[in-house]
Every structure is written in structure tokens, then in C-alpha cells.
Amino acid sequence: MDKAIIVDRLSSKVLKKISFAIQAGEIVGIIGPNGAGKTTTMKVLSGISPSTSGFVSVLDFDPYQRNQNFLKQISFVTGQKTQLWWNLPATETFELNKALYQIPEREYKKNLDQLISLFNVSKILKIPVNKLSPIQRAKMEMIASLIHKPKILFLDEPLLKDFVFDYNREYGTTILLSSSYIGDFTDLLRRIIIINKGTIIFDGAIEEITTKFATEKIIKATLSEEVDIKLIGNIGTVKRYSFPQIYISVPRTIVTFAAAELLQNYPVVNLEIEEFPIEEIIKNITN
């Protein structure tokens, strides 16, 4: 499979020699706290911002040269800016983008019809943008950004997420999605890159985060009667107790032993062993 993006020891004012490659058609999440370098990475890859050193290739182009053939194959969507005309229906922006990207009429109509169906907006096309709800505006923004069928879609803190998998499956578009909160995207992302303080601290399958960074598991127990949590504290760290449920954090290496001790010595009617939430693990490692 061809590599759509190659980054080798890329540095900027924020980034510190980061390296990764993304295959054509991949969906990859760039995750990290505010100020970590996520948006800077996206801006460098899309040609908005320069790098100070290193090598960057996106669709075999140097992004910062802003070659017209390159720009016609990408799209950058951020919640911070809009391309829609505030007092006019979004269709006016669609028509403008048709001209800017030199999309043939037949192709334009086909693309537009597919996007209208995907985002279910046929009934609001003629409404001025300033009369739309935030979600409706986000849908129109996305249509305007996808009307030319880009090969790579950069999504910076997107408001919409439901369409990502379907769009990728339908068109094979490479999608980079940056977010400070991964909770809404765990079902979409097979691979994530975690950035903190301008450095990549993890790059791999989302399932690997738990095994690599989570040293503890959660025992969730349902009790038939109240207990002294100080005694249970000898087994592990009580994270939450609201009778009849108690949540205890214990090291992964002794979780089976701890569960057995709970069952033998306390009024437990149900017990489950769970992994820590991905969001909490990422928060811990970036802190």
C-alpha cells in the first residue's frame, strides 16, 4: 500500500523531531493535551505552517510549497474557522468551491448529491448559514470541504464524527483526526499517535495503549451489604464507593488474587474486572 504521508525528524517551533508514516486510506488519530503540538502537526502537513527542519512528503509533494495540484487533493477542516458565507445559504459556498477546484458539472452534481445524502441535509440547503444550528453548520462546512473529493482529509478537533468511518470506507480517503479527547473516537480509530510537548510518545494500535501503559485494572464489585472500605483498602485503592457498587484499582499482576480475596471475604454478589478507560490512561501518561 502506498504511503500518503511521510514525516522524518520533523521539527518546528513546537515539534521536536517527530517521525511517522501514514498509508493511503488509513484513519489515524493524533491525540494529546492542549498545546501538545497536534494542530501544528496538521498545519505543517497541510502546508499552512512551515517546518524548521526534517523531511515532509504528502502525496509526494512538499506541503509548504502550496502547489495547486497538491491543494486540490487535500482538505483541512477546523472548528476555529469557517469558509461559509454567514448570511447566505451554504450552497453558494459549494458553487464557489466548484469553480475554485474546477470540478466538472456532472462530477460536481454527483459529489454534492452523495454528500447531501450522507449528511441528511436536503431540507436545509436553502436556509442562510446564520439560521442553522451549530451541528447543521458543521455539516455544511464538511460538505464544502469534501465537494472536490480530497485524497487526504485533515480534521482538527471536529464537531462531527459519525460520518468518518462511512466516508473512509466509501472513498478510501486518508483521514487524520486531531483531538484532545479520544473518548468519542475509540470506535473509529485503529491507530493513534499521542503527542505531548511536541514529541511522539506513542504510535500504534489503540488496543496496545492499555497493555503498554496501564499497570492496573479495575475490579467492579456489587455488594449485598455495607462494608468498611478501610478494610477493602488493604486489597487495592478504592476509586469509588456508592453502595452497592465499589470500584477498586489493583496492579495487573495480582488482579486475579485480589478478586478471589474479595469473593472469599466480603459479601460480593457480582464481580467484574475491567480495564482503565483509554481516556484516563492517556491523561496519566501525558501528565
Give the pLDDT mean for 215-234: 92
Tell the CATH topology of 215-286: Alpha-Beta Plaits (3.30.70)
Enter the C-alpha cell of residue 26. Answer: 488509513
How is the chain split into domains, by residue range?
A: 3-211, 215-286
d(CA 108, CA 68): 19
All residues at 6 or more sequence positions from 286 whose CB lies less than 8 Å from its CB, including other chains: 32, 33, 36, 194, 196, 201
The pTM score is 0.87
In Å, how far from its chain's centre is CA 84?
A: 24
Q: Considering only the top CATH level, what class is 3-211?
A: alpha beta
pLDDT of residue 287: 78
pLDDT of residue 27: 95
Question: Nearest Cα to 94, choosing from 69, 70, 119?
Answer: 119
Q: CA-CA distances (angstroms) from residue 167 to 26, 29, 41, 171?
A: 12, 16, 23, 6
Enter the C-alpha cell of residue 241. Answer: 464507593
Give the pLDDT mean for 173-184: 87
Which pLDDT band, with edges at 50, 70 and 90, does 278 fall under? confident
Does the pLDDT of residue 1 top 70, yes or no?
A: no
pLDDT of residue 280: 85
Give the pLDDT mean for 158-180: 90
pLDDT of residue 284: 84
d(CA 209, CA 156): 22
d(CA 65, CA 61): 8
CA atoms within 13 A on the CB side of 35: 3
pLDDT of residue 236: 93
